[in-house]
């Protein structure tokens, strides 16, 4: 059905799709968790309610991405997990803490609810920062140097800010009244922190990564890469313009910041993909070198053709059912 040399690229595309959907979908609910106010129970409850039907299922895409990496690219999986064992462990601890806190805040006495709100907030912050740190180390090819660690720390801050930004945009779309106004304020602050992070990566990454420098300065790849920063800059400017005018009468345009945030995430993701393709581990291992045997990939593809559409269908269905403005938080 497919030639042997095309199978690894099919699975890279599948893994890339899973990572992109995870970053967007779990990104906004991690951002909501980081922004969770600790001194306003009404706002906290509504923010939790806005992500309640989705947050757990959003993490399915992370499981799928890691599963594809493990099965289709075992050599790369071994290299990545070996280099990122500690930050990956801390990320998982953060995600576990979020899950525990989400359930426990609904069952404890009101006086102890704040403890689990703090746990949810800390778990969201820890998971977000570690994801950014791992991204920075990945971009640096897992180089063990002070320069690489500094870049990874800055990447952690940038990804955390980006999640806060998209989380605030989600709240603008899903909430009303005072909480929506508060979310607009959060988004106005986070958008420029996020912009500074993207600009920093665009400047620093080519300077410290020879592969990226060659890709950004040589034809024809430069023709595909250079428009991306300018598109991102335009989207940030547009988002700033829109946020300065929200909220509008009858809640018009409340969905615009979230759509712009999606496009910003997509353009940044595209920039990284174009910069490093065909390497699955930058500068160390390409897609064909890391791929499993064609017979294994062909067998796995059968399962992927069945499972991935089911996950997509469930995701679309859940967002369709729970679309619209959030209502008061209720536990049954």
Which pLDDT score, from 0 to 100, does residue 141 have? Answer: 81
In this prediction, residue 186 carries a pLDDT of 93
The rounded mean pLDDT for the chain is 87
Tens of pLDDT, residue by residue over 47-69, are 988 888 887 788 889 999 998 89
Q: Which residue has the higher pLDDT, 169 or 328?
A: 169
pLDDT at position 329: 61
pLDDT digits (tens, 9 = 90+) for 114-140: 889 999 999 999 999 999 999 988 888
CA–CA separation, 122 vs 95, rounded Å? 10
pLDDT of residue 210: 77
DSSP string, 108-164: S-GGGHHHHHHHHHHHHHHHHHHHHHHHHHHHTTT--SHHHHHHHHHHHHHHHHHHH
The yes-or-no verdict on residue 331 having pLDDT over 60 is no
CB 91 within 8 A of CB 62: no
Does an H or E element contain 208, and which?
A: helix 177-208
Residue, of 67 and 331, whose pLDDT is higher = 67
Which H or E run contains 203?
helix 177-208
- The predicted model scores a pTM of 0.91
Q: Quickly state the pLDDT bin for 207 (edges 50, 70, 90).
A: confident
The phi, psi pair for 27, rounded to 5°, reads -60, -45
Q: Which long-range contacts link 239-248 to residues 24+ away (Cβ below 8 Å)? A: 239/187, 239/191, 239/264, 240/188, 240/191, 240/192, 243/184, 243/187, 243/188, 243/191, 244/188, 246/172, 246/184, 247/172, 247/180, 247/181, 247/184
The model's pLDDT over 236-271, given as tens digits with 9 standing for 90+, comes to 999 999 999 888 887 788 889 999 999 999 998 888
pLDDT tens digit string along 281-305?
887 888 988 888 888 888 888 888 8
- Nearest-angstrom CA–CA distance, 329 and 332: 10
First to last CA, the chain: 49
Phi, then psi, of 252 in degrees rounded to 5: -65, 140
Q: pLDDT tens digits, residue range 79-123?
A: 888 889 999 999 999 999 998 998 888 787 877 888 899 999 999
- Taken in order 192, 196, 199, 205, is the CA torsion positive or negative? negative
Sort 106 into a burial class: Cβ within 10 Å, 0-12 / 13-18 / 19+.
middle
pLDDT above 80 (res 330): no
**CA neighbours closer than 13 Å in the CB half-sphere of residue 180:** 21
pLDDT confidence of residue 111: 77
Q: Please, are residues 196 and 130 in contact by the beta-carbon 8 Å criterion?
A: no
- Cα torsion 168, 16, 62, 175 to 10°: value is 20
- Degrees to nearest 5, angle at CA 237 with 232 and 241: 145
Helix axes 113-139, 41-51, angle to 10 degrees: 50
The yes-or-no verdict on residue 2 having pLDDT over 80 is no
Percent of the chain with pLDDT over 70: 98
Q: Which two structure tokens, joined as six digits, stand for 297?
A: 């990939």
- Percent of the chain scoring above 90 in pLDDT: 33
DSSP state of 246: P
């Amino acid at each position: 059905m497919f030639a042997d040399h095309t199978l690894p690229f099919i699975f890279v595309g599948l893994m890339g799709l899973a990572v992109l959907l995870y970053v967007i979908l779990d990104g906004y609910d991690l951002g909501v968790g980081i922004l969770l106010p600790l001194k306003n129970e009404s706002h906290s409850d509504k923010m939790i309610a806005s992500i309640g039907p989705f947050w757990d299922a959003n993490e399915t895409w992370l499981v799928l991405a890691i599963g594809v990496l493990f099965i289709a690219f075992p050599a790369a999986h071994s290299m990545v997990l070996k280099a990122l064992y500690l930050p990956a462990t801390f990320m998982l601890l953060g995600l576990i803490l979020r899950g525990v806190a989400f359930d426990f805040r609904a069952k404890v006495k009101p006086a102890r609810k704040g403890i689990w709100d703090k746990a949810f907030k800390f778990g969201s912050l820890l998971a977000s920062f570690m994801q950014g740190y791992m991204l920075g180390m990945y971009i640096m090819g897992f180089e063990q140097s002070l320069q690489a660690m500094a870049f990874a720390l800055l990447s952690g801050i940038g990804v955390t800010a980006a999640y806060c930004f998209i989380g605030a945009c989600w709240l603008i779309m899903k909430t009303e009244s005072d909480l929506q106004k508060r979310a607009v304020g959060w988004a106005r602050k986070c958008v420029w922190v996020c912009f500074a992070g993207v600009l920093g990566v665009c400047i620093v990454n080519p300077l410290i990564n020879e592969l990226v420098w060659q890709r950004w300065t040589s034809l024809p790849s430069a023709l595909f890469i250079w428009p991306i920063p300018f598109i991102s800059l335009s989207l940030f400017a547009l988002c700033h313009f829109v946020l300065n005018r929200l909220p509008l009468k009858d809640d018009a345009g409340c969905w615009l910041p979230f759509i712009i945030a999606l496009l910003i995430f997509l353009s940044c993701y595209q920039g990284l993909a174009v910069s490093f393709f065909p390497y699955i581990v930058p500068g160390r291992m390409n897609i064909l070198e890391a791929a499993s045997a064609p017979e294994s990939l062909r067998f796995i593809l059968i399962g992927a053709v069945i499972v991935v559409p089911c996950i997509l269908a469930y995701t679309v269905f859940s967002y369709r059912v729970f679309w619209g403005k959030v209502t008061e938080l209720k536990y049954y």
